[in-house]
Amino acid sequence: MIEADFEALDRLRSQRPLIHCISNIVTAADCANLLLAAGGRPVMAQEPAEMAEIAGAAQGCVLNTGTPDDGKFLACRLAGQAALAAGRPVVLDPVGAGASSYRCQKLTQLLEEVRPTLIRANLAEVQALLCLASRELGVDSPEPARRDQAPALAGELARRLGCLVLLSGESDCVTDGRRAALIEGGSGWMSRITGAGCMLSVLTGAFLAVSEDFLPAAAAAAAFWKVCGQQARQSAQAAGGGTGSFHTALFDAASLLGPQTLRQQSRISWLTLN
Amino acid sequence: MIEADFEALDRLRSQRPLIHCISNIVTAADCANLLLAAGGRPVMAQEPAEMAEIAGAAQGCVLNTGTPDDGKFLACRLAGQAALAAGRPVVLDPVGAGASSYRCQKLTQLLEEVRPTLIRANLAEVQALLCLASRELGVDSPEPARRDQAPALAGELARRLGCLVLLSGESDCVTDGRRAALIEGGSGWMSRITGAGCMLSVLTGAFLAVSEDFLPAAAAAAAFWKVCGQQARQSAQAAGGGTGSFHTALFDAASLLGPQTLRQQSRISWLTLN
Amino acid sequence: MIEADFEALDRLRSQRPLIHCISNIVTAADCANLLLAAGGRPVMAQEPAEMAEIAGAAQGCVLNTGTPDDGKFLACRLAGQAALAAGRPVVLDPVGAGASSYRCQKLTQLLEEVRPTLIRANLAEVQALLCLASRELGVDSPEPARRDQAPALAGELARRLGCLVLLSGESDCVTDGRRAALIEGGSGWMSRITGAGCMLSVLTGAFLAVSEDFLPAAAAAAAFWKVCGQQARQSAQAAGGGTGSFHTALFDAASLLGPQTLRQQSRISWLTLN
């Protein structure tokens, strides 16, 4: 019987892993602050010339392709390869996959060069990656998938690429293509701040960095973020606040949330895919 | 009789327009969060290779030339042209116009390539753009204008460039060169956080994106931001806070402010320019 | 008898110096907001073509080499040289010195081209700069220094480079190589948000920009930040908050802290280095 690895949070706080993040100009600060709040130590760097050293020295690597350019994709390749060569988990956050031919082409290339440990994406991005994986791109834009297709699509992408997929949204689904955890909870306000997905990606990188069994660790990371969302919403609303207070409260929650409360407030169910 | 289009706020929240922002490393996160708080959906991207697709898919486009370099100015040209070709409003925020010969030269070129729907700038930037427009640059630096000259200068720039000008400051003035709205209120603390101008620019882009008559929509956007400033100042001071609390409270206000309160608390007067 | 120059805070608020910051994608917004909260006016710019004009027009210059690339190091050289030529203080924040061969090589070169007025760094970075200064790099990685060696190492670096060194950490040490101020206080939570060091660097740049005697001014800047840290921790904990509330409260403290409270709550001792 599989279960989320809530103890990963304890290890995160005692081991304080160094997480190398290739980030973007929108969410770099929030990602670094969330890593620190949760217990990790961020190193944000993206000059290609230093990728091998920095990724090699870190315990985990998170490649975020938001606000992309050629230099960033090169940095992602070099960092990802160095991290994998050092036996470190690599999380890919393909921000806006499908939003432009440029991103499609560059992500296709990156996925040939670096096989991530886990892809954290939303439904539209998972769909776009599936099209890329099956080389359907340019033929027809797919119909937007329905929310209830998320586990099936995440599973399909996981099997195609041979990696974990964490598809986040109103509820999250993390899967290795055979088994899937559904994580409920959180807050709809998560979509009213920028970077909720990027932050989940770095958080997942930190949880994987202190774990050997990645699927249960990723489920715990997703659950951690859902509980933070819930607590932040309650806290912001109790104070009559809006999305600014919610944003601040997310970091409060992440810095104060302990493994026991995490376990109690998590809502995870497991299923087997087809 | 002209009046601010407060209903634009309703349309913003129901239509949730996608706003393409070329941003800068200082205020990108705040701009994205403010758009989300107010009701829009931001897409921040600035790789030239994807500008046409991304700007073309969005309902509005905001070009911010802060922390500039050649790549950003190229991105602004491509995005601005694609947005205009698709019939979308384009807002230009010429951050620090006049601060260097580099910015003067690049902004002159950009204004020849892209005729924005609206320019959002402060008094010094409007003065600098007027010098550029009249090719006076390099002759003499102008005397800094007095605050009470703002409507006349904004009007002059609007007529020269054939676009709307939103000159923001202690009070705001938005004009098409003939008619002008003066928007009072707000808080002096707006100048004690970074990005208040950048945020007003993206907000204005969002209001224009859901409107057909741009002058009344821009007046409503400016009024929205003034009311947010007032409310945030009150909220921060009631809690004994400083500029950190004020910053957070701005997003609270933007996410909670409805059209009725906006209308009640707005202080707008209209005048006709010479 | 030497003493911290607490009056620098008054001058900062009355003179409102323009501080040119070369920043990074992680902490640019926080640095700009902290400068504004404390009383300065930030201009963030890093296009090499405009460095001479912008640095020359500012009253102080802060070079932060986080998330570096070749363009940023070029910008640092041009801005640093222009500021020094104009008689302005230059603060260098060598983020992650020693983290990669790339940074080591580029920082060595920068220190040959620009002699900063003050280097603000943590213990590991000071150690790395000492290795670079003595060209020991590549031979052996040094043992990490113990915390109680900080004043001696800061003094050694100050004498080698002929500049002030502000080594920050649990306690701060600022020295010209002969005299040193130890600044106690602050909060351990400073290390649980990103950018506490970057923010101290821009703050120090602002204090130097309104001062003629730099060592006492730098001691006052460090003390200012320690007192902000203390007050923010108290405020966040009183409200049951975590690192998110602490982050917001830092800006509150910086915007509200006056010279008298600064003087009363500062814990500074002076010593003479052998």
Q: Which has the higher per-residue pLDDT, A258 or A136?
A: A258
Task: Give whole-number Cα distances, C111 to A50, C48, C142, C192, in Å.
Answer: 19, 18, 20, 30
pLDDT of amino acid C133: 81
Whether C260 and C41 have beta carbons less than 8 Å apart is answered as: no
Give the mean model confidence (pLDDT) for residues C8-36.
97
To which residue do tokens 């160095």 refer?
Answer: A82
b/e burial code for range C191-206 (CB count within 10 A of at least 16 → b): ebbbbbbbbbbbbbbb
Beta-carbon separation of A248 and C247 below 8 A: yes
pLDDT of amino acid C135: 65
φ, ψ for residue A208, nearest 5 deg: -65, -35
Question: pLDDT grade, residue B142 (50/70/90)?
Answer: low
Report the mean per-residue pLDDT for chain B.
Answer: 95
Q: With beta carbons under 8 A apart, name residues in chain B contacting A195.
A: 29, 32
φ, ψ for residue A202, nearest 5 deg: -70, -35
Beta-carbon separation of A43 and C99 below 8 A: yes
Helices A243-256 and A214-238: crossing angle in degrees, nearest 10, is 130
Whether B80 and A102 have beta carbons less than 8 Å apart is answered as: no
Q: With beta carbons under 8 A apart, name residues in chain C contacting B248.
A: 248
Please give the full DSSP string across C69-121, using - where no structure is assigned. -HHHHHHHHHHHHHHHHTT--EEEE-TTTTS-HHHHHHHHHHHHH---SEEEE
Q: Is the pLDDT of residue C137 over 60?
A: no
pLDDT of amino acid A33: 98
- Domain residue spans in chain C? 8-272
Give the mean model confidence (pLDDT) for residues B205-217.
98
To which residue do tokens 């892809």 refer?
Answer: A119
Q: With beta carbons under 8 A apart, name residues in chain A contacting B50.
A: 99-103
* Contacts across the B-C interface (CB distance below 8 Å): 93
pTM of the complete model = 0.96
CA–CA separation, B150 and B156 (whole Å): 10
The token pair that represents A117 in the structure block: 């440990």
Report yes or no: B26 at the C interface, CB cutoff 8 Å. yes
Question: pLDDT grade, residue B127 (50/70/90)?
Answer: very high
CA–CA separation, B178 and A79 (whole Å): 56
Task: Decide yes or no: CATH 3.40.50.720 for domain B8-272.
Answer: no
Q: Is the pLDDT of residue B138 over 50?
A: no
CA–CA separation, A5 and A259 (whole Å): 10
Residues A65-124: tens digit of each pLDDT: 999 999 999 999 999 999 999 999 999 999 999 999 999 999 999 999 999 999 999 999
The token pair that represents A81 in the structure block: 């390869």
Q: Is the pLDDT of residue A242 over 70?
A: yes
Question: So what's the ipTM on this one?
Answer: 0.95
Cα dihedral: A232, A233, A236, A237 (round 10): -160
Q: Is the pLDDT of residue B139 over 70?
A: no
Of A53-67, B34-48, B199-213, C133-147, give the lowest mean pLDDT range: C133-147
Whether B196 and B165 have beta carbons less than 8 Å apart is answered as: no
Report yes or no: A199 at the C interface, CB cutoff 8 Å. no
Q: What is the CA radius of gyration of chain C?
A: 17
Q: Is the pLDDT of residue B121 over 60?
A: yes
Residue A247: its H or E element: helix A243-256
Give the mean model confidence (pLDDT) for residues C8-16.
98
Report yes or no: B75 at the A interface, CB cutoff 8 Å. no
Report yes or no: C208 at the B interface, CB cutoff 8 Å. no
Question: pLDDT grade, residue B80 (50/70/90)?
Answer: very high
Of A31-40, C51-60, C129-138, give the lowest mean pLDDT range: C129-138
Whether C192 and A251 have beta carbons less than 8 Å apart is answered as: no
Report yes or no: C74 at the A interface, CB cutoff 8 Å. no
pLDDT of amino acid B137: 47
How far does C71 lie from chain A, in Å, by closest CA?
11
CA–CA separation, B191 and A224 (whole Å): 37
Give the mean model confidence (pLDDT) for residues B6-30.
97
Q: With beta carbons under 8 A apart, name residues in chain B contacting A24.
A: 44
Q: Which of residues 252-271 of B touch A (CB under 8 A)?
A: 252-256
Give the mean model confidence (pLDDT) for residues A246-268.
98
Residues A180-210: tens digit of each pLDDT: 999 999 999 999 999 999 999 999 999 999 9
Q: CB-CB: which of A36, A49, A248 is closest to C102?
A: A49
Q: How many CA atoms lie within 13 A of A42 on its CB side?
A: 33
Whether B231 and B257 have beta carbons less than 8 Å apart is answered as: yes
Q: Which of residues 165-194 of B touch C (CB under 8 A)?
A: 191-194
Report yes or no: B105 at the C interface, CB cutoff 8 Å. no
pLDDT of amino acid C139: 41
Residues C215-252: tens digit of each pLDDT: 999 999 999 999 999 999 999 999 999 999 999 999 99
pLDDT of amino acid B84: 98
Q: What is the CA radius of gyration of chain B?
A: 17
Give the mean model confidence (pLDDT) for residues B224-252.
98
Residues for chain B: how many in total?
Answer: 274
Give the mean model confidence (pLDDT) for residues C129-140.
68
Return the percentage of chain A with pLDDT > 70, whole number.
97
Beta-carbon separation of C50 and B242 below 8 A: no
Whether A208 and A118 have beta carbons less than 8 Å apart is answered as: yes
pLDDT of amino acid B44: 94
How do beta strands A41-44 and A172-175 pair? unpaired
Helices C28-38 and C243-256: crossing angle in degrees, nearest 10, is 30
Whether C161 and C117 have beta carbons less than 8 Å apart is answered as: no
To which residue do tokens 């958080």 refer?
Answer: A203
pLDDT of amino acid A140: 47
Question: pLDDT grade, residue A136 (50/70/90)?
Answer: low
pLDDT of amino acid A137: 47
Q: Which has the higher per-residue pLDDT, C141 or B162?
A: B162
Q: Chains contacting A with at least 3 CB pairs below 8 Å?
A: B, C
Report yes or no: B1 at the C interface, CB cutoff 8 Å. no
Give the mean model confidence (pLDDT) for residues B157-166.
97
Cβ within 8 Å of residue A60, ≥6 positions away: A17, A18, A19, A20, A40, A83, A88, A89, A90, A91, A205, A206, A208, A209
pLDDT of amino acid C132: 87
Cβ within 8 Å of residue B234, ≥6 positions away: none
Whether B68 and B97 have beta carbons less than 8 Å apart is answered as: no
Task: Give whole-number Cα distances, A112 to A91, A109, A115, A161, B97, in Å.
Answer: 15, 5, 7, 10, 44
